[in-house]
Every structure is written in structure tokens, then in C-alpha cells.
A and B are shown apart, each in its own frame.
Chain A
Amino acid sequence: MALSLFKLLPLSLVAGALLAGPVLAEDVAPGLLPGIHKHVLQTSTVPDNGDQNPYALIIAPVSAGPIQQGDVLYDNFNNAANLQGTGTTIVDFNPTSKKLTTIANLSHELPGCPGGVGLSTAMTMLKSGWIIVGSTPSNDGTTRTKGAGCLIVLNPQGKVAKVLADANINDPWGNMAVKDDGDKATLYVSMAGFGVGSPDGEPPVFNQSTILRINLDIPEGKVPEVTSETVVAGGFGEQADKSVFLVGPTGLALGEGDKLYASDALGNRISEIRDASTRTTSAGVGRTVTKDGLLSRPLAMVMTAEGHLLVTNGLNGKVVEVDPVSGKQLYAQWIDADKAQVPPGNGDLFGIVMHPNGKSFYYVEDDVNTIVLAQ
């Protein structure tokens, strides 16, 4: 009797494990945020010229010039006096050495860029080494004196190679979504400045914000050429704001099936633009994937390896994980609980990017000029 029990016990344990397996697998919640437990300060972001307010956050896809593959690149929206729309620097942060290197320190009065330079969250580095960054400039730190801005093409050494400015470009604002094939690339940039004026009083909401698709040819050793510009979406709300300069669509991310996702800050929703790379007309504000719930003025956005969207909130310190296929919001995690703002973290989370390992992500806390790694 005892012997048979000893034989049966391992068998029953194995059988139990097999039976329990699928159940446990179902119990494990999908998604990235439940696995995030640490928020590790990486660096203070203020470069030597004193620029503040880190905005765009990207990972270098290649090594080029002083930039190493996997480095974190960011730009600054404010100058040393903390005036919005006047920051002019792009900085490289090496996560291993912890060293900061100023890649570019542009002139605020850059020729060809209406209103000058105030670097926004629109930035990318292409596999060819070119850096493309948006300018949403101001002369006094408010939208009262804002210009239409431009897109600036720089080489990896930070030298300006080209300035893109035309009627389709008016305050390139949100983080770029990019499809980069090496010799060709497609950029998606939100434009949040059309019609926006002074932040005084109760500034009106203009439903004129657009998402512009820019197709580039990138000949070997030559500066990228714009082959076409297409407004693929439009009608998102945009509004001048005393504290955060302006509010408009800020996050863009590409998903499966040629879908482009946009965070509509004033609409408090995530929109889906279909046939993003091929459409020749505007999809308007697209289809609403999800709205309200855990979202609170969605800002920066990035796609996880699992195909979920991580969206930072503008009105609190949370990042929200969304399954864009089901349209379900999964989780929110407090990644900035700084009580200096009410609610905590309010207006801080403008930049987010996935770590190359696909399991963690970097984000900026722009009020204290830092980059944090959530892992």
C-alpha cells in the first residue's frame, strides 16, 4: 500500500501539473505592465547649454558618428530659462557609460524654419543615420508668438542638412511613427498648430490638427528627399495652453495591417487610421479604438513587442496599456507619482520609447529633466 502511494504521488503531481498548466496560463495576465516593477533613474537630461524639458525619446537604430546603436536620443523643448518652444538641443545618452553627448545645438533663428527652433516630440533617427526632428517654435514661450515650425534633417554629427517647411507643416508636435526600409522611409507626424493662437483667457479648440505622411527617398550618401506628402488624417482637436504650450494629438504608432494609431489628447481617445501607407485621402479622425476609462489626455505612445499600445497620460502620471485589436484597455501603472503636481505627474510624460530588449521602456519626466527606465 505504501509503495503504491509512492508511485502514485509523482504521477498525480505530473497529472495535476498538466491539468493545471492551461489554467495557470490563462491566469497569467497578458501585457507588459504587470511585469514592470522597477523605475530606475537613468540620467539628468540638462545639457551644457542648460536646455530643459526633454520631449522626444528615441533609440538609435544604428551606430553613426558619435552615436552608438542602442543609445537613447532626446531633444529639449525649453531653453535654459525654461521657455517652451525655444529648446534647441539633441542629446545622446549612452546607457552603459551614462555619458551625455550634445549631438546638435541649433540656432533658434534657423533660416527656413518659420518661427525658428523649439524642438518637439517629433524626432526619429533612420537606419541611414539621418536624424529628422520637428520644431514647434515660439519667441516668448507661449503660442502667442509661435511659428509654423518645420522638420529639420540633420546628419549624425548634428549638422543641419535640410529644412522642410510648407503649407502641410504647422507645428510638428507628436512622436513620429516611422517605417524605415533603409533607402526609403515613411514618416507620420502630427501637426498641431493650425489656427492655434494665444493661450490667454479661454483659448478655443480648433479641430484642424492633421497627421501628415511623408515619403522619403534616401539615396546612398545623400540627403533624404521628400517624394510625397499626404494628409492621412485630420480634424483632431488642438488648443493653446498656458502650462503645456498646446494640447493636440501627440502619440503615433504603427500596428499590424497597415494601421496607424494616434492619441487624440482632447478627444481622450485612441484613433485608428487604416491603410496608413497607401491611402491618398484623409481618414478624418479615424475609428475610435478606445476612449476615456483609464485614459486621461493621452500623450506619447509606443507599440510593444506584443502589439499593445503604451500610452502616457497628460493629466496624471499613469501609462496605460491598450490592446488595439480588441480595443480593450488592460492596465494603468503609475510611473510618475510626483506630488509636486496635482494630480501627481500631471503634464510630465511627453516621451516614451521601448528598450531594445522589448521588455522594458524608457520615459521622460520633463518637470525634473530626467529619463527613467521602467523594467
Chain B
Amino acid sequence: MRNILYNVFRDVLMNKKQNSRQRNLTLLRLTCAVLAATSFQARAEAIDDARTDATKPEADQSIAATTVGQWTGAWTRGTLLGDMGGLRSGLAQYGINLGLTETSEYLGNVSGGTDKGFVYDGLTTLTLTMDTSKALGLQGGTFNVSAINIHGRNLSELNLSNLQTASGIESDSGTRLWELWYQQSLADNKYDVKVGQQSIDQEFMTSTYSGLFVNTMMGWPAVPSYDLPSGGPAYPMSALGVRLRAHPTDAITVLAGAFAGDPTAVNGGNHNGTGFSLHGGTLWIAEVQYAVNQPALGQLETANNNPDEPPHHSGLPGTYKLGMWYHTASFDDQRNGTDGLSLADPNSNGSPQQHKGNYSIYAVADQLVWERDPDSAQGLAVFGRAMGAPGDRNELSFSFNGGLSLKNPLPGRDNDTAGLGVGYVRVGSGDQGLDRDTANFSGTWYPVRSGETFVEATYQAQVNPWWQIQADVQYVANVGGGIPNPNDTTQKIGNELILGVRTNITF
């Protein structure tokens, strides 16, 4: 632990891009949580040392109970703040669960990019969830409201100019309402409907195993991030809408929803999340999920009492998803104007041709491919997500990410996870044509964008039940699809090596 902290501090101090005040602020933010956590461990160990050692035979006969206070067992329990002095249990009486998390990270590129250096960024999420059966006597209802505070600086914007941005939490700083919805389950949980302001990256296109990774596109993928207005209703955005979910069989789940088309289509750009936009068309989205080798409630198995037969084990669990979305708004052609000229033509009227509607088809696969034994958490999983959209009206026509996730990778590290992932995006045909036109009309060197690839390796250590530390390395090739470096327009942006550490704390 001390070595990790030492290395983090050394990196901070060696960062020449920050002035001393920024450095101090970053140090303060990053280390507050870390040192606070370690002090709890020290405190817990000190308390334990002061007591009788229970490992001695029958010493526990003489152990005395001590008062259980706010900080008792702070190191071993599930949340750093426990009952919060009675707040959580008080809210629980009304069926309300309070969640508070912090994700902080220190990321930087040591090679490539438009600039070099490390920056801090973080995300605080406050969530209140109410079980209406306890609060109001209304069975099957859940009310959820959440707010987020994004702090720090955005490495991808500052230094990288990459398409597949380095961190899923980096965004414009500020505090905003995130989600605000009510969900009602029906017919013995066979159906449920969710109404309100929703961030659909929480339910659609999700991958069980990709969530480990730090890169943005391992969360909400690149195609909807670039091709939907304002990136679609996904973190840090959300949109008003209705979502239906059905479980026609134990193995099949169907999701379908309709959402306001542009979360930012309100005065002021909806910076605080309370704009509740209903403008910008409608986003329709549907997804079918198929679960394999996953137990269903009530599933009966018959015993094999023949000792000569090997025990029967069902196959390894996996989930496969197929979905599509359709957006009703008009979308700009990426190459041609309404006058039939290329938008790169100096004679162009600058008004893009319009396409009615936009759409994408996607597929997601999560599959455990190896496990030590059926009752073990140790296992290796593969995942992959691929999606496409028309290239004439979208910046990206294809995106893919996939990888491996290994749980319990080292002896005694049951809850750690190691991962190796890759991501690829392809720039749409319209934009590629525009690049060619730009080169032709300008008569100078101008690269035609193609694809961008990144590889990510990460290791997430579960320090205790409420604290994770994650080391991360990313390498980005053909940055931005091959765009010129703004610092030297005769060169493409150099491939980037990104290093970082992230910590997650559940308060």
C-alpha cells in the first residue's frame, strides 16, 4: 500500500504541466480518500491489537463486547461510512436506500498525443432508491433519483484528441441531476415499466465484463456516442422516456423504449440536468437478450445417485444480445451540401444535405469460457460488442470492443479482476469522402481518416469491500482515425501510451 501511494505521489510531483497550486489540489483530492482509508485500517488494527487475541485457544471465552460505534469495523464492512450515524437506517425505515460513491483517477499520456502530462478527474454519484412497497404500500414499485458531480480535468480533450476517449467518467465539470424515474413490476415480475428521466447506458448495450475497463467506449459504445445527438441519453446525460421490459421465458429478456431525441435541446444546453428536453425527435430502441446456462428461479434438477457416473455440470453461463435503435430526427450528410457540392468545396453553400432518420444495429456477447469449478468465482470470460450505422450521415460507421476478464487472478485475491481489451472504430464513408475532398480542394497534404484502435490492460484490486484501486495502461493507434496534429499539420497525431490509476470508494 505504501509503495502504491509513494508512486502516485511521485508521478504527481513529476508532472510539469501543473503549477504548484494545482499540484497541491490534486494531491489533496487524490490522497484524502486514500489516506483516510488507510487510517481506518490502522485504527482497526490498533483496536484489534488491544484486545485479546482470539486465535489463542479458548481466548474468546474472555473477550468482552465493545460498544459498536460509527467507526466500528470500518475497514471490513461494505461501506466506508456504514450507517452514517443513523441516517441510512433512518431512511431504511421508509424503504429508502442511500448510495454514495466516488471514482477518482489520475491519468496521463507519456507518449504521443497533442501534448503530454497527467491530469486528475473524478466523479461523485449520489443515489436515492425507494422501495415503494415499504414506503407507500405499493408493491413492486421502485423510485430512483441520482445526481452526479464531475470534477477535475479532461485528459482526452486536453492531450489526446482520440475518438475512443481514455476514461468513461471524464466530462465537463459540474453538478447535475442524472436519473429520475419510477419503475413498476407487473404480473409476478414478468414485466416491468420504467418512466422518467433515464440514462439508457445503464440497461441497453451493456456488457457484464466490459465494465471493468477505464476507456469510455467499454461503457457506452462509440457508435451511439458519436452518432446520436449529444451522444444520446447516456452518462452524463439522460432523457425523458418510457422503457418496457419483458421476460417471455426464463432465458429471454426483451427491452424496448422510446426517449426524447436530444437531451441538450433546451435553452442553456441542459448543463444541470433539469432541462427535461422533449425536443430533437424520438429515439426508439429495442434489444433481445438470450441467457445460456443460467439458472432460473424454480428450476429443478434431478440427482444422479450413480457413483460411477461423473457429476453433471451445466455449461458455462453467457448472455447474448441483439438490438437496434432508430432516431426520427433529420441528420446532416457528412460530405455533401444541398447544392450538390462537397462541403469541402470553397463554393459550397455550407448547408449539408439532410437524411430523414438514423439507425444502428448492434450485438453484444458475454461468455464465461473457463472456471476453476462450478462453485468458484475464479473464471475467465470473453466479451465482444459490435455495431454499425450508415456512413453517409454519421461520423462513425462501425465500432467494436472486446476482451478478456479474469476474476481471482492471483492466489488469495478472490475479488480482484484483471482484464485485457481492445477497441476499434471506423470513420464513416461520408467523412472519409470529405477528407478526400478537403485534400483535393486545398491542394495540400490532408489525411483521409480511417479507423482508430486501442488496447487496454488493467488490474483492479479489491482492497476491502468498499475500496478498489485499479492500475491501467492504454495504447491508442492511429489517433482520431488519423487526423493531423494541430501542433504540426504535416504530421498525424502520434500513437499514445496512457498510464493511470483509478480508485473507487463506496461511502
Chain A residues close to B by CB (< 8 Å): 33-34, 36-39, 44, 46, 48-50, 79-83, 86, 108-110, 113-117, 137-148, 167, 170-171, 193-198, 201-202, 242, 292-294, 296-297, 315-318, 320, 328-337, 339, 342-344, 346
Among B302-310, B395-403, B428-436, B483-491, the stretch that binds chain A is B302-310
Q: Judging by beta carbons under 8 Å apart, are A139 and B297 in contact?
A: no
Which residue of the partner chain B has the closest CB to A165?
B61
Once the chains bind, are A292 and B301 in contact (CB under 8 Å)?
no
Whether the pair A80, B89 counts as a contact (CB closer than 8 A) is yes
State the majority secondary structure of interface residues on A: loop
Q: Which residue of A lies closest to B66 (CB)?
A: A139
Q: Are B375 and A297 in contact (CB under 8 A)?
A: yes
**What's the Cα separation between A336 and B55 when bound, in Å?**
35
In the complex, chain A residues whose CB is within 8 Å of the CB of B83: 50, 79-81
B345 to chain A, nearest CB (A): 55
Write out the residue numbers on chain A whose beta carbons fall within 8 Å of the beta carbon of B63. Answer: 114-115, 139, 145-148
Query: Given contacts A193-B60, A195-B57, A202-B412, are A108 and B89 in contact (CB under 8 A)?
Result: no
Task: Determine whether B295 belongs to the interface, using a CB cutoff of 8 Å to chain A.
Answer: yes
Please encode chain B, from 74 to 98, with 1 for each CB lying within 8 Å of some chain A CB and 0 for all others. 0111110011001011101101000
Bound-state CA distance A109–B131 (Å) is 33
- Which of B58, B60, B379 lies at the interface centre, i.e. has the most chain A CB atoms within 10 A of its CB? B60
- Measured CA separation A197–B300 after assembly (Å): 38
Q: Which of B62, B73, B303 contacts A140 (CB 8 A)?
A: B73
Q: Which of B76, B304, B311 contacts A142 (CB 8 A)?
A: B76
- Check if A48 sits within 8 Å of B298, measured CB to CB: no
Interface of B is mostly: loop
A344's partner among B79, B86, B295, B301 (CB-CB below 8 A) is: B295
Contact A115 B77 (CB under 8 A): no
Binds A, one of B10-18, B23-31, B46-54, B495-503: B46-54
Complex Cα distance, B65 from A86, in Å, reads 10
Nearest CB in chain A: distance from B346 CB, A = 58
Residue numbers of B with Cβ under 8 A of A are: 44, 47-48, 51, 53-55, 57-58, 60-68, 72-73, 75-79, 82-83, 86, 88-90, 92-93, 95, 131, 133-134, 188, 294-305, 311, 374-375, 377, 379, 407, 412
Decide: A337 and B297 in contact? CB cutoff 8 A: yes
- What are 18 A-B residue pairs whose CB atoms fall within 8 Å in the complex? A33-B300, A37-B298, A48-B89, A50-B83, A81-B82, A83-B76, A114-B61, A114-B62, A115-B64, A117-B65, A141-B72, A146-B54, A147-B61, A197-B53, A330-B302, A333-B301, A343-B374, A343-B375
* Pairwise interchain contact B92-A50, C-beta atoms closer than 8 A: yes
Partner of B72, one of A81, A167, A332: A81
Least Cβ–Cβ distance between A27 and chain B, in angstroms: 14
Residues of B within 8 A of A115 (CB): 60, 63-65
Query: Bound state CA distance, A10 and B260, in angstroms?
Result: 67
Q: Are B60 and A337 in contact (CB under 8 A)?
A: no
A294 to B304, CA, bound (A): 8
Chain B contacts of A296 at CB under 8 A? 374-375
Give, as a whole number of angstroms, the nearest-CB distance from A112 to chain B.
Answer: 11
Nearest CB of chain A from residue B90's CB, rounded to whole Å = 8
A296–B311 Cα distance when bound, in Å, is 12
Residues of B close to A171: CB separation below 8 A: 60
The answer to whether A44 and B54 have CB atoms under 8 Å apart is no
Q: How many A-B residue pairs have CB under 8 A?
A: 192
C-alpha spacing A37/B188, complex, angstroms:
12
Given contacts A114-B61, A117-B65, A343-B374, contact A337 B77 (CB under 8 A): no
Name the A residues within 8 Å of B51 (CB-CB). Answer: 139, 145
Q: Which residues of A are found within 8 Å of B68, using beta-carbon distances?
A: 79, 81, 83, 86, 108, 139
* Other-chain contact of A337, B58, B82, B90, B299 (Cβ < 8 Å): B299
Given contacts A139-B66, A140-B72, contact A328 B300 (CB under 8 A): no
Residues of B within 8 A of A140 (CB): 44, 47-48, 72-73, 75-76
Partner of A330, one of B58, B62, B303: B303
Could you say which residues of chain B place their CB within 8 Å of the CB of A167?
58, 61
* CB neighbours of A37 from chain B (8 A): 298
B48 CB contacts on chain A under 8 angstroms: 140, 144-145
Q: Which residue of A lies closest to B368 (CB)?
A: A342
- The smallest beta-carbon distance between B37 and chain A, in angstroms, is 16
Q: Taking the nearest CB of chain B, how far is it from the CB of A43, in angstroms?
A: 9
A334 touches B78 (CB 8 A): no
* Contact of B65 with A82 in the complex, beta carbons under 8 Å: no
Bound CA–CA A283/B297 (angstroms): 38
User: Which residue, A46, A81, A293, A333, has most C-beta atoms of chain B within 10 A?
Assistant: A81
With A82-B79, A83-B73 in contact, is A334–B296 under 8 Å at CB? Answer: yes
Whole-angstrom distance between the alpha carbons of A81 and B88 in the complex? 8
Roughly how many angstroms separate A195 CA and B55 CA in the complex, as a whole number? 6
Are A328 and B303 within 8 A (Cβ)? Answer: yes
Q: Which residue of B lies closest to A118 (CB)?
A: B65
Assuming A139-B66, A343-B375, what are 16 further A-B pairs, CB within 8 angstroms?
Answer: A50-B90, A80-B89, A83-B77, A108-B68, A115-B63, A139-B73, A140-B44, A140-B75, A147-B64, A148-B60, A198-B55, A294-B303, A296-B375, A335-B298, A336-B297, A344-B295
A79: chain B residues at CB < 8 Å are 68, 83
Are the C-beta atoms of B377 and A147 separated by less than 8 Å?
no
A204 to chain B: closest residue by CB: B55
Shortest Cβ distance from residue B492 to the other chain A in the assembled complex, whole angstroms? 44
Tell me which of B55, B62, B302 contacts A197 (CB under 8 A): B55
Chain A residue numbers with a CB within 8 Å of B67 are 108-109
CB closest chain-B residue, reference A268: B375
A201-B374 in contact given A114-B60, A145-B51, A332-B301 (Cβ < 8 Å)? no
- With both chains docked as a complex, state the minimum distance between the C-beta of A58 and any C-beta of chain B, in angstroms: 23
| Interface contact A108-B65, CB-CB below 8 Å | yes
User: How far, in angstroms, from A334 to B297 measured CA to CA in the complex?
Assistant: 5
The reply to whether A329 and B305 form a contact with Cβ atoms under 8 Å apart is: yes
Task: Pick the residue among A137, A139, A331 that contacts B300 (CB under 8 A).
Answer: A331
Give Cα A113 to B53, complex, Å: 18
What residues of chain B lie closer than 8 Å to A137, measured between beta carbons? 65
Establish whether residues B60 and A332, one from each chain, have CB atoms under 8 Å apart when the complex forms. no
Among residues of B, the one whose C-beta sits closest to the C-beta of A37 is B298
Distance from A246 Cβ to chain B, minimum over Cβ atoms (Å): 11
Q: Hey, which chain B residues are within 8 Å of A331, CB to CB?
A: 300-303
A138→B44 CA distance, assembly (Å): 13
On chain B, the residues within 8 Å of A344 by CB distance are 294-295
User: Cβ of B412 and Cβ of A201 under 8 Å apart?
Assistant: yes
Q: How far is the CB of B476 from chain A (nearest CB, A)?
A: 32
Q: What are the 8 closest A-B residue pairs judged by CB atoms, nearest first? A: A50-B89, A116-B65, A197-B55, A81-B82, A329-B303, A141-B73, A80-B89, A315-B375
CB distance from B95 to the nearest CB of A (A): 7
* Minimal Cβ-Cβ distance residue in B for A201: B412
Known contacts A329-B305, A331-B300, A334-B295; A316 and B375 CB within 8 A of each other: yes
User: Known: A140-B48, A337-B295. Contact between A328 and B77, CB under 8 A?
Assistant: no
For A317, the chain B residues whose CB sits under 8 A away are 295
Cα of A117 to Cα of B62 in the assembled complex, Å = 14
- Identify the closest chain B residue to A313 (Cβ): B375
B189 to chain A, nearest CB (A): 9
Q: Which residue of B lies closest to A144 (CB)?
A: B48
